[in-house]
Structure 1
Amino acid sequence: MSAHFEPDAVLIAAARERIAPYAVRTPVLESPALNRQLGARILIKPETLQRAGSFKFRGALNRALQLTPEQRAGGLVAWSSGNHGLALSYVAKELGIKATILMPQEAPRTKIEGVRANGATVRLYDKTKEVREEIGAQIAAETGAVIVPPYDDPYVMTGQATLGMEFAEQALSLGAPLDDALFACSGGGLVSGAACGVHCVTSATRIYSVEPEGFDGMARSLEAGEPTRAPATGTSICDALLVPIPGKLTFPVCKQHLAGGLRVSDAEVMKAIRFACTELKLVVEPGGAVPLAALLAGKLDVKGKTVGIVLSGANTDADKFATYVTAQ
């Protein structure tokens, strides 16, 4: 694999065709209240309505559908705090493939139970003592399973690119080409792929990553011009976005395609979750709400612009969700 991989229009179009029989073409929504509040036209793509509850379904599906018969027989192995594991286990069940998902002990119960309900084997690990990549490599060596990384993978990035291309086309069909687009960022699989997808349709759209404060590796890397680790001290409610440094494949793409990186606090994220619940009638997990949080907190001047945001996931524990929605 070359050091620089970037999904182009041909690869993205092929991926869209490949995943079309399985993936949901999620709608684009607008909130008059949000538009008024921000003085902008905000197009909202709720990938919360995607199968398995997040955008990760696209990348996992694009990877699994390109396995050879021999690879299918060996099964899949992945590591994930939740959404990648949920998506991959869902895809594996759908295609009749075995899957083992390595998950941190503190992953949300909903996500662990969801992966098990999909029929995958869950191997919980202790972040402080074990290295997930090493466990994954060992399982792959013993069973012949194919490792499917959560973000640093050409197939996965291309699958996520289908989301960007779809969104940009939907905006155009509304007569509202995107001036700006905001995507949640952890290792960068979504924002790198989606940026390529958007730029295939509207090359002038400015793309921004959004991360939790303290876990802002992409923003720091974009500012430094090279991969830079975030402090990652303390915690964040955004359990899906706790990667401290961008991926080796994702960062070069982001460096080329992104206009900047934004950061949000847990309090700002909770406000966005409440807004999504009360105004949009959508359940959004913390990591999926960060683009909305960035807009509501005024992290970007959007007055008079058309701005696209993706609500990227809906997998959150019910008791935690209740505390986010009722927090003042």
Structure 2
Amino acid sequence: MLNIAIVGATGQVGEHLLTVLEERDFEIGELYVFASSNSVGESISFAGKSYVVQALEGFDFSKVQVAFFNASKAITEQYASLAAESGALVIDSTGAFRYDPLVPMVIAGVNDERIAMSSQKHIITNPSPDALMLMPVLKAMVPKAPVNDITFTAMHSVSGSGKSGVDELAKQTAQLLNARELEKRCYTEQIAFNVLPIVGDLEANGYTNAEIALMLETKIIMNNPGLSIAPSFVRVPVFHGNSASVVLNTEAAISSAEFSALIDELEGFELVNVENELATPVSDSVGTDTVFISRVKETLGDHTGISFWMTADNLRYGSTVNAVKIAELYQESFQ
């Protein structure tokens, strides 16, 4: 059994992490939960027991073997290295170490071998929800039709902005339906009954930091610095679940039937190929650990390739499930 610390235990990702750990029967010795000062002293229930939320300051990380960091980047940058230096394996879901070449970026089942790199800094970074959806597909295609370039148009739910995003969509919807004055706090523009063509902060080149992160993650995880990807992220008025329209241009021709066969064999993926049936967050992916794919079709024009629609729960599949799988792989080394 491993002793576990969860930093950011009361946030959306932390809550889902606890749920996934319990559902997967992860064997835990001692559990320590941490959150902001506003939550210190609260109780969290896990596997039939109650745990008191602690303050992070002064905690001795030598007490744990794995520390999940789901809080802000600032907190992670301040405490993750301390945890790693104390002997704990840090699994970071905040992106704080995304640009550190000595910190492996791991998707369980895609590049497990990179976990061994964690011995250098004792930190592993968990990729973004978009990368977690897309990379298994790209890897599965390598033997059949390697991908040359990607167009990835993502539709991000408001839960990606935390509880404030969820609250804002709910509140604005009620305000508009009741003809009340609209309040904007989380987003600069109205999100209810609207779409916002931006997720993250704009950089000088016109892309957002979230879009640039996916470009980087794709090249790192696929170990292909020359792979071209054009991402566009859109915030949509959906509470939970991320989706994307994807176009893959390939070196060799691949039919929709051949691509569908690859998806059928891919663990954690499900193809919705019934006529007139579509995969959506609400009807399919939210609350599951599965990526759903529909609307598979061959690209038109001079380029060979495939296009499709995909959707997944951004808080479960898109974050916590992979973090737990990494911990499970690490746990095997203790047995």
* Same topology, TM > 0.5: no
Greater helix fraction, Structure 1 or Structure 2 = 1
Higher relative contact order at CA 8 Å, sep ≥6: structure 1 or structure 2? 1
| Structure showing greater Rg | 2
Greater strand fraction, Structure 1 or Structure 2 = 2
Tell me the TM-score normalized by structure 2: 0.36
